[in-house]
């Protein structure tokens, strides 16, 4: 049996017990004792096989209480659209000049937005942006002429979720310092979005397991029966 670390010995959680959502949030907050403000994350185990195109689950959701993180936004645009992006608060804006910076290995943004006319240019960065999950996508609202709205959404609490190979979605819903009710509101918004994104190819039970944790804390299992998964 693995030896428990000093921190693990302080955890007050039964790793096998199922908890209600509010109870799970309270436990996560109580065990987030690191010297920094830990992120709170949700893991959703779905009954899908993302290797099949008709079972991919991916989308964006705006967390009503924000993420607690500072999101850097990069925008590929020219002319008036570039000006709109800057006025909306984009951190990096450009076209060919930004292409060269990114090709040189310098990526100074966490979300990437592009106007449709820039996608021919941005497409050349597929091998750089794709593996990092930064490639603009019209289905996610990151290829758009309304760059100002897209920038404000990215800065204001919008997060992207995507199912991994094992059928699990990992997503942050805020910080441990958030009030419990704010974390619950963000949790409900994320779960609701994932449930609504249920693919036609999904068979059987869709949301199979749910767990909450903080960056350095233990995983807390949530009773799926208490989660709106219809």
Q: Please, are residues 199 and 57 in contact by the beta-carbon 8 Å criterion?
A: yes
| Residue 152 φ then ψ, to 5° | -65, -35
pLDDT at 13: 63
Residue 204 vs residues 7, 49, 67, 137: alpha-carbon distances, Å: 39, 12, 32, 29
CB contact at 8 A, 47 and 204: yes
Q: How high is the pLDDT of residue 227? A: 81
Nearest to 31 by CA among 19, 45, 47: 19
Local confidence band at 207 (pLDDT 50, 70, 90 cut-offs): very high
**Of the given ranges (9-23, 57-71, 169-183), which has the lowest mean pLDDT?**
9-23
pLDDT of the residue at 3: 58
DSSP label at 171?
A: E
Residue with tokens 């704010």: 182
pTM: 0.82
Per-residue confidence (pLDDT) for residue 230, from 0 to 100: 41
Task: Flag whether pLDDT at 23 surpasses 90.
Answer: yes
81-to-97, 118, 155 alpha-carbon distances in Å: 16, 11, 18
**Helix residue spans in 89-179 (DSSP H):** 96-103, 119-122, 126-129, 147-155
8 has pLDDT over 80: no
Give dist(CA 159, CA 144) in Å, integer: 17
């Amino acid at each position: 049996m693995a030896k428990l670390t000093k921190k693990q010995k302080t955890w007050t959680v039964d790793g096998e017990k199922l908890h209600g959502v509010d109870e799970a949030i309270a436990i996560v907050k109580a065990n987030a004792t690191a010297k920094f403000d830990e992120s709170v994350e949700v893991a959703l185990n779905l009954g899908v096989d993302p290797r099949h195109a008709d079972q991919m689950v991916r989308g964006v959701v705006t967390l009503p209480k924000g993420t607690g993180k500072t999101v850097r936004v990069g925008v590929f645009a020219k002319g008036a659209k570039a000006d709109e992006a800057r006025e909306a608060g984009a951190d990096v804006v450009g076209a060919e000049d930004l292409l060269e910076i990114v090709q040189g290995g310098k990526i100074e943004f966490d979300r990437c937005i592009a106007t449709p006319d820039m996608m021919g240019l941005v497409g050349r960065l597929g091998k750089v942006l794709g593996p990092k999950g930064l490639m603009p996508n019209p289905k996610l609202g990151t290829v758009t002429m309304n760059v100002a709205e897209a920038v404000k959404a990215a800065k204001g609490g919008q997060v992207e979720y995507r199912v991994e190979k094992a059928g699990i979605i990992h997503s942050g819903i805020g910080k441990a310092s958030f009030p419990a009710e704010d974390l619950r509101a963000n949790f409900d918004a994320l779960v609701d979005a994932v449930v609504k994104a249920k693919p036609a190819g999904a068979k059987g039970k869709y949301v199979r397991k749910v767990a909450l944790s903080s960056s350095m804390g233990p995983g807390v299992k949530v009773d799926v029966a208490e989660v709106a998964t219809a």
